[in-house]
Amino acid sequence: MTGTDEVFRKRVKRGRRFEGWERSKWNGPGHEAVETEAPTAWKGRRGRIDLRLVDEEDGHSVVVETKATDWDRMSAHRVRPNALRHARQLWRYIDAELESRQVLPALVYPTEPSTPGRKEEIEAILHERLIQVVWRELDLDAL
């Protein structure tokens, strides 16, 4: 196994730990309408929404995508492209959902970046695209 393979595996495991933790917070009383890994399709492309809460009574759904991105490890010139990639992915899910109801989108990250100005940059990019950003305060290595 190469060093690149090992890094990839660690990132996947980190993402799965975070997604599992986030899902666990949406289980239990009051969350019966939450779907995990909800299938979706848009313009011939299939995907899977991490968390979807459909409120038939109000006619809207909440679409939540979890991302275990470590924004502090990222080069400054890669922040915008990565935030835009996250937004595009979420908007594919939103567009598929909009056919039948209003959608409230959110991206959830495990921690706020500590690099000065980075959190604000990410939030500005995503808020311009009408996406709510949630920052958890998690130590993924401790999960």
pLDDT score recorded for residue 68: 92
Domains along the chain with CATH numbers = 3-142 (3.40.1350)
pLDDT score recorded for residue 106: 94
pLDDT score recorded for residue 30: 66
Below-50 pLDDT ranges, the chain? none
pLDDT score recorded for residue 86: 96
DSSP string, 97-142: HHTTSEEEEEEEESS---STTHHHHHHHHHHHTT-EEEE----GGG
The gap from C-alpha 20 to its chain's centroid, in whole angstroms, comes to: 12
Residue 43, phi then psi, degrees to nearest 5: 50, 45
Taking only the tens place, the pLDDT of each residue in 55-96 is: 878 878 888 999 999 999 999 999 999 999 999 999 988 887
Q: Sign (positive/negative) of CA torsion 52, 62, 97, 33?
A: positive
Length of the chain: 143
pLDDT score recorded for residue 73: 93
Cα 102-107-112 angle, rounded to 5 deg: 150
Strands 60-66 and 45-55: antiparallel
